[in-house]
Structure 1
Amino acid sequence: MKVNEGKTDRLIRFVLGAVLLALYLANVLTGTWGTVALVVSIVLLATAATGFCGLYALLGINTCPIKKQEQQS
């Protein structure tokens, strides 16, 4: 797995994941919406931690500036 997320992308994913997880744990989101929020928050936090997004890989997206510079050399 190559890193394909930049700093800003990872920070946004972390913040959104943490907010969704907090809403789930505070019982603000319950039922089906709570389950969806929990799954999405886990995915966002995992991709933020690893720096790799499978969907980005499938679509050929790379927001990591370090990798872009290495490819140009």
Structure 2
Amino acid sequence: MCHITGGGNADLQPVIEGVLASPAFSSRWEQQSTSTKDGMTSTTFRNREEPAMIIQISRADKAGQRLDRVQLIATATFQTK
């Protein structure tokens, strides 16, 4: 398991959405599910080359939200047999 977090004084939401919508990202990751709660959206992706690898990316559900909270949480897991 690996966690990546990000935040700061810049609104990261538009950049994160741009990366998730990019051809480079979608060529490597297949979207599995999305949910929204309390102003945060979490999307789970499965790696196309190595299906045992899953990443969940959580970010603000829209631009211009609070900057005093974590703006990005990515958790990657690898299922071993």
Answer whether TM exceeds 0.5 for this pair.
Answer: no
> What TM-score, normalized by structure 2, do the two folds share?
0.28
Structure 1 or 2: larger helix share?
Answer: 1
Larger radius of gyration between Structure 1 and Structure 2:
1
Give the structure, 1 or 2, with the largest relative contact order (CA under 8 Å, sep 6 or more): 1
TM-score by length of 1: 0.30
